[in-house]
Amino acid sequence: MIISISGASGSGKSTVAEKLAKKLKWPHYYIGQIRRELAKEHGMTLAEYNKFGESDPSTDVEVDEYQKKLGRKKDNFIIQGRTSWHFIPHSLKIYLDVDKKIAARRIFKELKGRHSRNEDKNLKTVADVLKSQQTRIRSDKKRYKKYYQIDVYNKKNYDFVLNTTSLNKRQVFAKIYGFVKSRLSIDPASPRYRSRGFLPAGRQARGEKKCYSR
């Protein structure tokens, strides 16, 4: 099984992806970090790189081709990226959502702590972060609509949606892992996990809830 994790900035995607990879003992690929590093190589912040990408598709195509290859050649891994669900359509698709103001506070706190996100310039207040994130969403929607005709923020694309606004990290992981575990079965003859199978995004079993908040 391949698990793709997407969602809003500040929703806790990285924490969940890392913990899930550690729990399952699977590799973890983080597309956002690759994009941040590419931006840095070009002497840009991620915000500037996204803006540049609105007229130059190579900024997205390069990492998206990488995702396609991973999906074709490997199995049993976690991939974190906004377009991962699209380029690995057979993955189990998870989306984390969060209130925009809460997200801005979380991101601002992280920026003050380690400054490693290469996010944007002049993020001196929570309001600055909120404004920057709103610009990022508009850029994402513009690029992905232009190049792939998709909306990565449309929750109908995903198998499981969780709103993390009022949840702590432990609660978020418990819900995500509970869902993933329900889709896995363990082969007693092998240390590797086997997929039990799951419905494509947009389809649900009778009585199954798709969106969760608490």
| pLDDT: which is higher, 114 or 26 | 26
Please name the residues in contact with 183: beta carbons below 8 A apart, sequence gap of 6 or more: 1, 92, 195, 196, 197, 198
pTM of the entire predicted model: 0.80
pLDDT above 70: residue 165: yes
CATH number, domain with residue 194: 3.40.50.300
Number of domains in the chain: 1
pLDDT score at 112: 80
pLDDT score at 99: 96
Q: pLDDT tens across 92-148, in order? A: 999 999 999 999 999 888 888 765 677 778 788 999 989 988 998 999 999 999 999
Residue 163: domain span: 2-212
Q: pLDDT tens across 79-103, in order? A: 999 999 999 999 999 999 999 999 9
CB neighbourhood size of 183 (10 A): 17
Given a contact cutoff of 8 angstroms between Cβ atoms, the answer to whether 172 and 164 are in contact is: yes
pLDDT score at 97: 97
State what percent of residues in the chain have pLDDT above 90. Answer: 61
